[in-house]
């Protein structure tokens, strides 16, 4: 992991331990937000909303409890001599922008060239989920995924591409409905050889 990648990952994590609020405190905060939005948190339709919201947040941000190293820890050394590109594409993900705490939704494509073995393909989808279920920006999410692949699989090269629509652009601000953001990052052979990058893009486009 290079210095800039380490900095990006560091920026995405809490700087120091902090006291996590209780569920009761979280529900009280939701009631405050409801009132600030202009509605009555005590009316019938909203009485149970704080409980539902905190439960939903437990799902939205469950990635803070996931360890990428554990997810990628089980590899298979015997791959029948296979040493070409392994690509898992169209992995759906949803995350929440750390600036406005609204969703961005898209698909991820991950490829690697095996060196020390292969990993179960479902683990790559699980890796995307672990990082996306945190307060995020897409650029850092892209870096986190490829850095984890490089660190724990030690491939000859890796490639990651994310394409997503950000609700902070389509629901508010410029309201650019349908606009998508694409981020990508390459390492090893994919970074050094354009032909391998071209193969990666061609495999993504292929149906």
Q: What residues act catalytically? A: 97-100, 138, 166, 168
Adjacency order of strands within the sheet including 86-97? 135-136, 86-97, 103-113, 157-166, 181-188
Burial of 127 (0-12, 13-18, 19+ CB in 10 A): buried
SS3 182: strand
Q: Compute the CA torsion angle 102, 20, 51, 98 (nearest 10 deg).
A: 0
C-alpha–C-alpha distance, residues 207 and 204, integer Å: 8
Residues facing 158 on adjacent strands: 112, 187
Query: Backbone phi, then psi, for 119, in 5-degree steps?
Result: -120, 150
C-alpha–C-alpha distance, residues 126 and 39, integer Å: 38
C-alpha–C-alpha distance, residues 61 and 20, integer Å: 13
Query: Six-digit token pair at 59?
Result: 């799902």
Which DSSP symbol is given to 12? T
C-alpha–C-alpha distance, residues 12 and 14, integer Å: 7
């Amino acid at each position: 992991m290079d210095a800039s990648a380490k900095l990006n990952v560091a920026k995405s994590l809490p700087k120091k331990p902090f006291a996590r609020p209780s569920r009761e405190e979280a529900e009280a905060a939701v009631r405050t937000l409801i009132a600030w939005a202009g509605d009555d948190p005590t009316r019938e339709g909203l009485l149970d909303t704080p409980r539902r919201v905190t439960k939903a947040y437990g799902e939205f941000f469950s990635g803070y409890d996931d360890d990428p190293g554990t997810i990628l820890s089980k590899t298979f050394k015997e791959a029948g001599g296979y040493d070409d590109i392994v690509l898992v594409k169209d992995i759906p993900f949803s995350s929440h922008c750390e600036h406005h705490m609204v969703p961005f939704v898209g698909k991820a494509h991950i490829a690697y060239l095996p060196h020390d073995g292969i990993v179960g393909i479902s683990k790559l989808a699980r890796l995307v989920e672990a990082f996306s279920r945190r307060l995020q920006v897409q650029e850092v999410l892209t870096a986190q995924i490829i850095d984890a692949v490089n660190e724990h699989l030690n491939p000859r090269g890796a490639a990651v591409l994310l394409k997503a629509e950000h609700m902070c652009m389509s629901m508010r601000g410029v309201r650019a409905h349908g606009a998508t953001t694409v981020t990508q990052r390459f390492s090893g052979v994919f970074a050094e050889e354009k032909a391998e990058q071209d193969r990666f893009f061609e495999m993504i486009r292929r149906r």
